[in-house]
Chains A and B, each alone.
Chain A
Amino acid sequence: MQHYNMNLTLKVWKQKNNKTKGGFETYPVKNVSSEMSFLEMFDVLNEQLVSEGKEPIAFDHDCREGICGMCSMVINGRAHGPWSQNTTCQLHMRAYKDGDTITVEPWRADAFPVIKDLVVDRTGFDRIIQAGGFISVNTGNAQDANALPIDKQKADESFAAASCIGCGACVAACPNASAMLFVSAKVSHLALLPQGDPERKSRAFNMVNQMDTEGFGSCTNIGACEAECPKGISLENIARLNREYIGSMMSGSSVEGTA
Protein backbone atom coordinates (compact mmCIF):
# COMPACT_ATOMS: atom_id res chain seq x y z
CA MET A 1 0.00 0.00 0.00
CA GLN A 2 1.19 3.47 -0.89
CA HIS A 3 2.60 5.49 1.99
CA TYR A 4 0.99 8.91 2.54
CA ASN A 5 0.86 11.73 5.09
CA MET A 6 -2.31 13.27 6.42
CA ASN A 7 -3.60 16.12 8.56
CA LEU A 8 -6.22 15.15 11.12
CA THR A 9 -8.51 16.74 13.68
CA LEU A 10 -8.70 14.83 16.95
CA LYS A 11 -11.55 15.25 19.43
CA VAL A 12 -10.25 13.68 22.61
CA TRP A 13 -11.98 13.18 25.97
CA LYS A 14 -10.14 15.10 28.73
CA GLN A 15 -10.99 14.44 32.36
CA LYS A 16 -8.86 15.32 35.37
CA ASN A 17 -10.10 12.44 37.59
CA ASN A 18 -13.27 10.52 38.45
CA LYS A 19 -14.47 13.35 40.71
CA THR A 20 -14.56 15.96 37.96
CA LYS A 21 -16.67 16.26 34.86
CA GLY A 22 -14.83 15.71 31.59
CA GLY A 23 -15.25 17.18 28.14
CA PHE A 24 -13.90 17.02 24.62
CA GLU A 25 -10.81 18.98 23.50
CA THR A 26 -10.02 19.44 19.84
CA TYR A 27 -6.45 19.04 18.59
CA PRO A 28 -5.12 19.45 15.06
CA VAL A 29 -2.44 16.85 14.21
CA LYS A 30 -0.28 17.53 11.17
CA ASN A 31 1.82 15.28 8.93
CA VAL A 32 0.69 11.95 10.33
CA SER A 33 2.26 9.03 8.46
CA SER A 34 -0.03 6.26 7.23
CA GLU A 35 2.59 3.81 8.59
CA MET A 36 2.15 4.97 12.18
CA SER A 37 0.12 3.05 14.69
CA PHE A 38 -2.74 4.89 16.39
CA LEU A 39 -0.71 5.12 19.61
CA GLU A 40 2.34 6.50 17.75
CA MET A 41 0.08 9.21 16.40
CA PHE A 42 -0.84 9.99 20.05
CA ASP A 43 2.91 10.05 20.92
CA VAL A 44 3.50 12.66 18.20
CA LEU A 45 0.55 14.73 19.43
CA ASN A 46 1.73 14.48 23.05
CA GLU A 47 5.29 15.57 22.16
CA GLN A 48 3.78 18.51 20.33
CA LEU A 49 1.65 19.36 23.39
CA VAL A 50 4.65 19.11 25.74
CA SER A 51 6.75 21.37 23.53
CA GLU A 52 3.92 23.92 23.57
CA GLY A 53 3.90 23.71 27.36
CA LYS A 54 0.45 22.07 27.44
CA GLU A 55 -0.59 18.98 29.34
CA PRO A 56 -0.27 15.75 27.34
CA ILE A 57 -3.20 13.34 26.96
CA ALA A 58 -3.13 10.40 29.39
CA PHE A 59 -3.74 7.02 27.76
CA ASP A 60 -3.05 3.40 28.74
CA HIS A 61 -0.54 1.33 26.77
CA ASP A 62 2.10 -1.29 27.43
CA CYS A 63 3.22 -4.02 25.00
CA ARG A 64 2.12 -2.30 21.78
CA GLU A 65 1.96 -5.66 20.07
CA GLY A 66 -1.68 -6.54 20.65
CA ILE A 67 -1.36 -8.94 23.59
CA CYS A 68 -1.47 -6.96 26.85
CA GLY A 69 -4.92 -5.42 26.52
CA MET A 70 -4.02 -2.02 27.95
CA CYS A 71 -4.77 0.32 25.03
CA SER A 72 -8.39 1.11 25.84
CA MET A 73 -9.87 3.67 23.48
CA VAL A 74 -13.27 4.01 21.85
CA ILE A 75 -12.51 5.48 18.43
CA ASN A 76 -15.47 6.96 16.53
CA GLY A 77 -17.79 4.82 18.62
CA ARG A 78 -15.85 1.57 18.10
CA ALA A 79 -13.85 -0.12 20.85
CA HIS A 80 -10.24 -0.45 19.57
CA GLY A 81 -11.21 1.32 16.34
CA PRO A 82 -12.75 0.18 13.07
CA TRP A 83 -10.72 -2.96 12.30
CA SER A 84 -12.14 -6.27 13.47
CA GLN A 85 -10.22 -8.49 15.92
CA ASN A 86 -7.67 -5.76 16.49
CA THR A 87 -6.31 -3.70 19.37
CA THR A 88 -5.78 0.08 19.28
CA CYS A 89 -1.98 -0.33 19.21
CA GLN A 90 -2.29 -2.51 16.11
CA LEU A 91 -4.62 -0.06 14.40
CA HIS A 92 -2.62 1.82 11.78
CA MET A 93 -3.22 5.30 10.46
CA ARG A 94 -3.80 3.92 6.94
CA ALA A 95 -7.32 3.31 8.26
CA TYR A 96 -7.79 7.09 7.90
CA LYS A 97 -7.46 9.69 5.18
CA ASP A 98 -6.38 13.31 5.02
CA GLY A 99 -8.86 15.71 6.65
CA ASP A 100 -10.60 13.11 8.85
CA THR A 101 -11.98 14.04 12.25
CA ILE A 102 -11.54 11.28 14.83
CA THR A 103 -13.40 11.20 18.16
CA VAL A 104 -11.57 9.33 20.93
CA GLU A 105 -13.34 8.43 24.19
CA PRO A 106 -12.46 6.25 27.18
CA TRP A 107 -14.21 2.91 27.91
CA ARG A 108 -17.49 4.21 29.31
CA ALA A 109 -18.98 2.13 32.13
CA ASP A 110 -19.70 3.03 35.74
CA ALA A 111 -17.76 -0.11 36.74
CA PHE A 112 -14.71 1.34 34.91
CA PRO A 113 -14.28 4.81 36.51
CA VAL A 114 -12.04 7.23 34.63
CA ILE A 115 -8.66 7.73 36.31
CA LYS A 116 -7.56 10.43 33.88
CA ASP A 117 -8.49 11.29 30.27
CA LEU A 118 -8.56 7.94 28.43
CA VAL A 119 -7.26 5.86 31.34
CA VAL A 120 -9.90 3.86 33.23
CA ASP A 121 -9.75 1.70 36.35
CA ARG A 122 -10.25 -1.93 35.31
CA THR A 123 -9.46 -3.55 38.67
CA GLY A 124 -13.08 -4.75 38.78
CA PHE A 125 -11.89 -7.50 36.40
CA ASP A 126 -9.21 -8.53 38.93
CA ARG A 127 -11.81 -8.88 41.66
CA ILE A 128 -13.98 -11.03 39.36
CA ILE A 129 -10.96 -13.32 38.79
CA GLN A 130 -10.31 -13.42 42.55
CA ALA A 131 -13.92 -14.53 43.08
CA GLY A 132 -13.48 -17.73 41.06
CA GLY A 133 -10.97 -17.57 38.23
CA PHE A 134 -8.47 -19.88 39.92
CA ILE A 135 -7.75 -23.59 40.39
CA SER A 136 -6.44 -25.76 43.22
CA VAL A 137 -3.04 -27.40 42.63
CA ASN A 138 -0.71 -29.40 44.81
CA THR A 139 2.51 -27.68 45.75
CA GLY A 140 5.85 -29.36 45.07
CA ASN A 141 7.17 -30.57 41.74
CA ALA A 142 4.95 -30.04 38.74
CA GLN A 143 3.58 -33.35 37.49
CA ASP A 144 4.36 -34.65 34.03
CA ALA A 145 2.54 -32.53 31.47
CA ASN A 146 1.04 -35.55 29.75
CA ALA A 147 -0.17 -37.27 32.93
CA LEU A 148 -3.68 -35.83 32.45
CA PRO A 149 -5.21 -36.82 29.11
CA ILE A 150 -7.17 -33.90 27.60
CA ASP A 151 -9.38 -34.13 24.52
CA LYS A 152 -7.83 -32.17 21.63
CA GLN A 153 -11.00 -30.24 20.81
CA LYS A 154 -11.50 -29.26 24.44
CA ALA A 155 -7.89 -28.15 24.71
CA ASP A 156 -8.34 -26.01 21.59
CA GLU A 157 -11.60 -24.46 22.83
CA SER A 158 -10.06 -23.80 26.23
CA PHE A 159 -7.06 -22.16 24.59
CA ALA A 160 -9.35 -19.99 22.43
CA ALA A 161 -11.17 -18.83 25.58
CA ALA A 162 -7.87 -18.27 27.40
CA SER A 163 -6.77 -15.89 24.65
CA CYS A 164 -8.97 -13.23 26.31
CA ILE A 165 -6.59 -10.41 27.27
CA GLY A 166 -9.00 -8.78 29.72
CA CYS A 167 -8.93 -5.46 27.87
CA GLY A 168 -12.57 -4.63 28.63
CA ALA A 169 -13.64 -3.91 25.04
CA CYS A 170 -16.67 -6.19 25.63
CA VAL A 171 -17.83 -3.92 28.46
CA ALA A 172 -17.10 -0.80 26.41
CA ALA A 173 -19.07 -2.12 23.42
CA CYS A 174 -22.01 -3.59 25.34
CA PRO A 175 -25.07 -1.29 25.45
CA ASN A 176 -25.62 -2.66 29.00
CA ALA A 177 -21.93 -2.31 30.01
CA SER A 178 -21.99 -6.02 30.85
CA ALA A 179 -18.82 -8.03 31.45
CA MET A 180 -20.39 -11.36 30.47
CA LEU A 181 -18.02 -12.09 27.56
CA PHE A 182 -14.99 -11.59 29.83
CA VAL A 183 -16.49 -13.71 32.63
CA SER A 184 -17.58 -16.40 30.15
CA ALA A 185 -14.08 -16.61 28.63
CA LYS A 186 -12.48 -17.01 32.06
CA VAL A 187 -15.06 -19.58 33.21
CA SER A 188 -14.84 -21.50 29.90
CA HIS A 189 -11.08 -21.76 29.87
CA LEU A 190 -11.12 -23.49 33.27
CA ALA A 191 -14.39 -25.43 32.83
CA LEU A 192 -13.04 -27.22 29.76
CA LEU A 193 -9.98 -28.60 31.54
CA PRO A 194 -9.76 -31.28 34.27
CA GLN A 195 -7.66 -28.86 36.33
CA GLY A 196 -10.74 -26.66 36.74
CA ASP A 197 -12.88 -29.39 38.31
CA PRO A 198 -12.42 -28.79 42.09
CA GLU A 199 -14.07 -25.33 41.99
CA ARG A 200 -16.37 -26.05 39.09
CA LYS A 201 -19.63 -26.08 41.05
CA SER A 202 -19.05 -22.67 42.60
CA ARG A 203 -17.03 -20.82 39.96
CA ALA A 204 -19.80 -19.60 37.64
CA PHE A 205 -22.02 -18.33 40.45
CA ASN A 206 -19.21 -16.62 42.35
CA MET A 207 -17.80 -14.84 39.30
CA VAL A 208 -21.21 -13.72 38.01
CA ASN A 209 -22.16 -12.55 41.50
CA GLN A 210 -18.94 -10.50 41.68
CA MET A 211 -19.64 -9.08 38.21
CA ASP A 212 -23.02 -7.85 39.49
CA THR A 213 -21.45 -6.45 42.68
CA GLU A 214 -18.90 -4.50 40.64
CA GLY A 215 -21.76 -2.71 38.90
CA PHE A 216 -21.51 -4.21 35.43
CA GLY A 217 -24.79 -4.58 33.56
CA SER A 218 -26.44 -7.86 32.65
CA CYS A 219 -26.22 -9.73 29.36
CA THR A 220 -29.17 -9.50 26.97
CA ASN A 221 -27.51 -11.48 24.16
CA ILE A 222 -27.03 -8.44 21.90
CA GLY A 223 -23.65 -9.61 20.63
CA ALA A 224 -21.81 -6.27 20.31
CA CYS A 225 -19.10 -7.71 22.62
CA GLU A 226 -18.29 -10.53 20.20
CA ALA A 227 -18.19 -8.06 17.29
CA GLU A 228 -15.68 -5.81 19.07
CA CYS A 229 -13.50 -8.39 20.89
CA PRO A 230 -9.89 -8.02 19.65
CA LYS A 231 -9.31 -11.73 20.32
CA GLY A 232 -12.46 -13.06 18.66
CA ILE A 233 -13.91 -14.53 21.87
CA SER A 234 -17.16 -16.16 20.76
CA LEU A 235 -20.68 -15.91 22.22
CA GLU A 236 -20.50 -19.69 22.54
CA ASN A 237 -18.54 -19.01 25.72
CA ILE A 238 -21.52 -17.14 27.15
CA ALA A 239 -23.70 -20.14 26.27
CA ARG A 240 -21.17 -22.33 28.12
CA LEU A 241 -21.16 -19.98 31.13
CA ASN A 242 -24.97 -20.22 31.19
CA ARG A 243 -24.72 -24.04 31.09
CA GLU A 244 -22.16 -24.02 33.90
CA TYR A 245 -24.43 -21.75 35.92
CA ILE A 246 -27.56 -23.86 35.33
CA GLY A 247 -25.54 -27.02 36.02
CA SER A 248 -24.40 -25.81 39.42
CA MET A 249 -27.88 -24.46 40.18
CA MET A 250 -29.48 -27.86 39.49
CA SER A 251 -26.87 -30.04 41.18
CA GLY A 252 -25.19 -27.86 43.80
CA SER A 253 -25.65 -27.97 47.54
CA SER A 254 -28.22 -25.74 49.24
CA VAL A 255 -25.85 -24.74 52.05
CA GLU A 256 -25.14 -21.02 52.18
CA GLY A 257 -21.61 -20.12 51.14
CA THR A 258 -20.97 -23.31 49.19
CA ALA A 259 -22.17 -24.19 45.73
Chain B
Amino acid sequence: MSWKNYFSTSIGKKLQMSLTGLFLITFLIVHCYINAQIFYNDGGVRFTEAAHFMGTNFLIRTVEIGLMAFLLLHIIQGLALWSRNKSRRTNRYAVNAGSATSPWYSRSMALLGTLILLFLIMHLSKFWAPNRFSQITGGGEKDLYHMMKEEFQTAWVVGVYIFGCISLGWHLVHGFYSAFQTLGLGTSKYKGLIKSVGVAFSIIVPLIFIAMPVAFFMNWIA
Protein backbone atom coordinates (compact mmCIF):
# COMPACT_ATOMS: atom_id res chain seq x y z
CA MET B 1 0.00 0.00 0.00
CA SER B 2 1.24 3.47 -0.85
CA TRP B 3 1.20 6.54 1.39
CA LYS B 4 -1.66 7.81 -0.76
CA ASN B 5 -3.77 4.75 0.07
CA TYR B 6 -3.09 5.18 3.76
CA PHE B 7 -3.94 8.89 3.80
CA SER B 8 -7.16 8.40 1.76
CA THR B 9 -9.21 6.31 4.21
CA SER B 10 -11.25 7.86 7.00
CA ILE B 11 -8.41 7.26 9.50
CA GLY B 12 -5.92 8.67 6.98
CA LYS B 13 -7.96 11.87 6.65
CA LYS B 14 -8.29 12.01 10.42
CA LEU B 15 -4.49 11.78 10.68
CA GLN B 16 -4.22 14.76 8.31
CA MET B 17 -6.56 16.71 10.61
CA SER B 18 -4.59 15.64 13.68
CA LEU B 19 -1.10 16.44 12.36
CA THR B 20 -2.06 19.79 10.81
CA GLY B 21 -4.01 20.61 13.98
CA LEU B 22 -0.99 19.91 16.20
CA PHE B 23 1.15 22.09 13.93
CA LEU B 24 -1.39 24.91 14.27
CA ILE B 25 -1.34 24.41 18.06
CA THR B 26 2.45 24.88 18.16
CA PHE B 27 2.01 27.97 15.95
CA LEU B 28 -0.44 29.37 18.51
CA ILE B 29 2.22 29.04 21.25
CA VAL B 30 4.79 30.99 19.19
CA HIS B 31 2.23 33.62 18.11
CA CYS B 32 1.05 34.06 21.68
CA TYR B 33 4.62 34.35 23.03
CA ILE B 34 5.67 36.96 20.44
CA ASN B 35 2.57 39.10 20.85
CA ALA B 36 2.69 38.91 24.64
CA GLN B 37 5.81 41.13 24.39
CA ILE B 38 3.38 44.08 24.32
CA PHE B 39 2.72 43.49 28.02
CA TYR B 40 6.21 44.84 28.82
CA ASN B 41 4.45 48.17 28.22
CA ASP B 42 7.60 49.66 26.70
CA GLY B 43 5.92 51.44 23.82
CA GLY B 44 6.26 48.34 21.67
CA VAL B 45 10.08 48.16 21.61
CA ARG B 46 10.40 44.47 22.47
CA PHE B 47 7.32 43.52 20.44
CA THR B 48 8.63 45.30 17.33
CA GLU B 49 12.01 43.60 17.74
CA ALA B 50 10.36 40.15 17.95
CA ALA B 51 7.97 40.93 15.08
CA HIS B 52 10.92 42.10 12.97
CA PHE B 53 12.68 38.77 13.57
CA MET B 54 9.55 36.78 12.71
CA GLY B 55 8.84 38.88 9.62
CA THR B 56 12.35 38.83 8.14
CA ASN B 57 14.10 35.62 9.26
CA PHE B 58 14.54 33.31 6.28
CA LEU B 59 13.77 30.13 8.22
CA ILE B 60 10.63 31.54 9.78
CA ARG B 61 9.39 32.85 6.45
CA THR B 62 9.92 29.40 4.93
CA VAL B 63 7.99 27.72 7.74
CA GLU B 64 5.28 30.34 7.17
CA ILE B 65 4.64 28.84 3.72
CA GLY B 66 4.18 25.45 5.42
CA LEU B 67 1.90 27.05 7.99
CA MET B 68 -0.35 28.48 5.28
CA ALA B 69 -0.40 25.14 3.43
CA PHE B 70 -1.27 23.23 6.62
CA LEU B 71 -3.92 25.78 7.56
CA LEU B 72 -5.53 25.41 4.12
CA LEU B 73 -5.35 21.60 4.31
CA HIS B 74 -6.91 21.65 7.79
CA ILE B 75 -9.76 23.88 6.53
CA ILE B 76 -10.43 22.04 3.27
CA GLN B 77 -10.14 18.54 4.75
CA GLY B 78 -12.23 19.56 7.77
CA LEU B 79 -15.05 20.92 5.62
CA ALA B 80 -14.89 17.88 3.32
CA LEU B 81 -15.13 15.52 6.32
CA TRP B 82 -18.02 17.50 7.74
CA SER B 83 -19.94 17.37 4.48
CA ARG B 84 -19.27 13.63 3.97
CA ASN B 85 -20.19 12.73 7.55
CA LYS B 86 -23.36 14.78 7.35
CA SER B 87 -24.46 12.85 4.27
CA ARG B 88 -24.10 9.45 6.00
CA ARG B 89 -27.54 9.79 7.62
CA THR B 90 -30.06 10.97 5.03
CA ASN B 91 -33.05 10.24 7.28
CA ARG B 92 -32.37 12.09 10.50
CA TYR B 93 -33.66 11.18 13.95
CA ALA B 94 -36.89 12.74 15.17
CA VAL B 95 -35.51 12.73 18.72
CA ASN B 96 -31.80 13.37 19.32
CA ALA B 97 -29.73 12.31 22.32
CA GLY B 98 -27.82 15.63 22.21
CA SER B 99 -25.80 16.33 25.34
CA ALA B 100 -26.89 13.08 27.02
CA THR B 101 -24.19 11.17 25.15
CA SER B 102 -21.63 13.77 24.03
CA PRO B 103 -20.58 17.38 24.75
CA TRP B 104 -21.89 20.04 22.31
CA TYR B 105 -18.46 21.35 21.29
CA SER B 106 -17.31 17.90 20.12
CA ARG B 107 -20.31 17.83 17.75
CA SER B 108 -19.74 21.45 16.60
CA MET B 109 -16.13 21.41 15.39
CA ALA B 110 -17.06 22.44 11.83
CA LEU B 111 -19.21 25.34 13.09
CA LEU B 112 -16.52 26.52 15.54
CA GLY B 113 -13.88 26.09 12.83
CA THR B 114 -15.92 28.18 10.40
CA LEU B 115 -16.28 30.95 12.99
CA ILE B 116 -12.50 30.88 13.51
CA LEU B 117 -12.00 31.00 9.72
CA LEU B 118 -14.23 34.08 9.39
CA PHE B 119 -12.32 35.69 12.24
CA LEU B 120 -8.99 34.76 10.60
CA ILE B 121 -9.99 36.39 7.30
CA MET B 122 -10.64 39.63 9.14
CA HIS B 123 -7.54 39.27 11.34
CA LEU B 124 -5.12 38.49 8.50
CA SER B 125 -6.48 41.25 6.29
CA LYS B 126 -5.92 43.75 9.12
CA PHE B 127 -2.32 42.87 10.02
CA TRP B 128 -0.55 40.06 8.18
CA ALA B 129 -1.63 40.83 4.61
CA PRO B 130 -0.88 44.59 4.55
CA ASN B 131 2.48 43.97 6.27
CA ARG B 132 3.63 41.32 3.78
CA PHE B 133 2.26 43.36 0.87
CA SER B 134 4.28 46.35 2.00
CA GLN B 135 7.41 44.16 2.38
CA ILE B 136 7.01 42.66 -1.09
CA THR B 137 6.32 45.97 -2.82
CA GLY B 138 9.38 47.52 -1.24
CA GLY B 139 7.60 49.62 1.38
CA GLY B 140 9.34 47.78 4.23
CA GLU B 141 7.79 46.47 7.42
CA LYS B 142 4.73 48.18 8.82
CA ASP B 143 4.56 49.51 12.36
CA LEU B 144 2.40 46.65 13.65
CA TYR B 145 2.40 47.91 17.24
CA HIS B 146 0.76 51.20 16.34
CA MET B 147 -1.57 49.47 13.87
CA MET B 148 -2.81 47.30 16.76
CA LYS B 149 -3.11 50.27 19.05
CA GLU B 150 -5.24 52.05 16.49
CA GLU B 151 -7.42 49.06 15.53
CA PHE B 152 -8.22 48.17 19.12
CA GLN B 153 -9.68 51.57 19.94
CA THR B 154 -12.93 50.45 18.25
CA ALA B 155 -15.28 48.54 20.54
CA TRP B 156 -16.80 46.25 17.88
CA VAL B 157 -13.36 45.19 16.62
CA VAL B 158 -12.40 44.24 20.20
CA GLY B 159 -15.74 42.40 20.47
CA VAL B 160 -15.08 40.39 17.30
CA TYR B 161 -11.61 39.48 18.63
CA ILE B 162 -13.05 38.29 21.94
CA PHE B 163 -15.69 36.21 20.10
CA GLY B 164 -13.05 34.76 17.76
CA CYS B 165 -10.83 33.74 20.69
CA ILE B 166 -13.76 32.13 22.56
CA SER B 167 -14.57 30.09 19.41
CA LEU B 168 -10.90 29.11 19.25
CA GLY B 169 -11.00 28.01 22.91
CA TRP B 170 -13.98 25.67 22.42
CA HIS B 171 -12.49 24.34 19.17
CA LEU B 172 -9.29 23.56 21.09
CA VAL B 173 -11.03 21.80 24.01
CA HIS B 174 -12.03 19.03 21.62
CA GLY B 175 -9.27 19.47 19.04
CA PHE B 176 -6.35 19.15 21.45
CA TYR B 177 -7.60 15.85 22.93
CA SER B 178 -8.83 14.59 19.57
CA ALA B 179 -5.45 15.13 17.88
CA PHE B 180 -3.73 12.88 20.42
CA GLN B 181 -6.53 10.28 20.39
CA THR B 182 -6.10 10.06 16.60
CA LEU B 183 -2.39 9.37 17.09
CA GLY B 184 -3.41 6.48 19.33
CA LEU B 185 -2.46 8.09 22.64
CA GLY B 186 -5.94 8.09 24.19
CA THR B 187 -5.16 5.22 26.53
CA SER B 188 -6.02 5.09 30.24
CA LYS B 189 -2.36 5.96 30.91
CA TYR B 190 -2.37 9.27 29.01
CA LYS B 191 -6.02 10.23 28.52
CA GLY B 192 -6.35 12.12 31.82
CA LEU B 193 -3.13 14.05 31.23
CA ILE B 194 -4.03 14.90 27.62
CA LYS B 195 -7.52 16.07 28.62
CA SER B 196 -6.33 18.27 31.50
CA VAL B 197 -3.43 19.82 29.56
CA GLY B 198 -5.84 20.34 26.65
CA VAL B 199 -8.42 22.14 28.77
CA ALA B 200 -5.74 24.29 30.43
CA PHE B 201 -4.26 25.18 27.01
CA SER B 202 -7.73 25.98 25.60
CA ILE B 203 -8.39 28.42 28.43
CA ILE B 204 -4.96 30.03 28.94
CA VAL B 205 -3.93 30.71 25.32
CA PRO B 206 -7.24 32.31 24.18
CA LEU B 207 -7.31 34.35 27.42
CA ILE B 208 -3.84 35.78 26.72
CA PHE B 209 -4.97 36.62 23.19
CA ILE B 210 -8.16 38.27 24.50
CA ALA B 211 -6.08 40.32 26.95
CA MET B 212 -4.25 42.01 24.03
CA PRO B 213 -7.09 43.96 22.34
CA VAL B 214 -8.69 44.53 25.75
CA ALA B 215 -5.45 46.00 27.15
CA PHE B 216 -5.18 48.43 24.22
CA PHE B 217 -8.87 49.34 24.42
CA MET B 218 -8.71 50.01 28.15
CA ASN B 219 -5.45 51.96 27.68
CA TRP B 220 -3.64 49.65 30.10
CA ILE B 221 -0.68 49.77 27.75
CA ALA B 222 0.56 52.85 25.97
User: Which residue numbers of A lie inside 8 Å of B, CB to CB?
Assistant: 11, 22, 24, 74, 76-79, 103, 105, 108-111, 173, 175-178, 180, 204-205, 208-209, 211-212, 215-224, 227-228, 235-236, 238-243, 245-246, 249, 252-256, 258-259
Contacts and interface: CB of A to CB of B under 8 A. Distances in A.
Contact of B93 (A105, A208, A259): A105
Contacts of B183: 242, 246
A176 B96 contact: no
Given A103-B94, A109-B88, A221-B178, 7 more contacts: A173-B101, A180-B10, A219-B10, A220-B81, A220-B109, A235-B186, A239-B185
B115 to A, nearest CB: 17
A11 B95 CA distance: 11
A254 B2 contact: yes
Contacts of B102: 175, 222-224, 227
A64 B198 CA distance: 42
Contacts, number: 144
A256 B1 CA distance: 5
Nearest to B7: A249
Given A205-B5, A223-B106, A242 B182 contact: yes
Contacts of B106: 220-223
B15 interface: yes
B94 A239 contact: no
B84 A227 contact: no
Contacts of A204: 11
Given A211-B10, A215-B88, A242-B184, A74 B93 contact: yes
Nearest to B188: A236
Interface string B1-17: 11101100111011100
B74 interface: no
B187 interface: yes
Contacts of A177: 85, 88-89
B15 A217 contact: no
A254 to B, nearest CB: 6
B47 interface: no
A223 B195 CA distance: 14
A236 B10 contact: no
Contacts of B188: 236
B9 A77 contact: no
B16 to A, nearest CB: 11
- Listed from nearest, the 7 A-B pairs whose CB atoms lie closest are A218-B10, A243-B184, A77-B95, A176-B85, A217-B88, A239-B186, A177-B88
A227 B86 CA distance: 21
B176 to A, nearest CB: 11
B78 to A, nearest CB: 10
A258 B1 contact: yes
24 contacts: A22-B91, A74-B95, A78-B97, A78-B100, A103-B94, A110-B90, A177-B89, A178-B85, A204-B11, A205-B1, A215-B88, A218-B11, A218-B13, A218-B85, A221-B106, A221-B178, A223-B102, A235-B186, A239-B184, A242-B181, A242-B184, A246-B15, A246-B184, A254-B2
Contacts of B5: 205
A28 B10 CA distance: 44
A177 B106 CA distance: 15
Nearest to B181: A221
A238 B181 contact: yes
A221 B101 contact: no
B174 interface: yes
Nearest to B17: A220
Contact of A239 (B85, B98, B107, B187): B187
Nearest to B186: A239
Contacts of A176: 85-86, 88
Interface in B64-109: 81, 84-98, 100-102, 106-107, 109
B10 A222 contact: no
A238 B187 CA distance: 9
B177 interface: yes
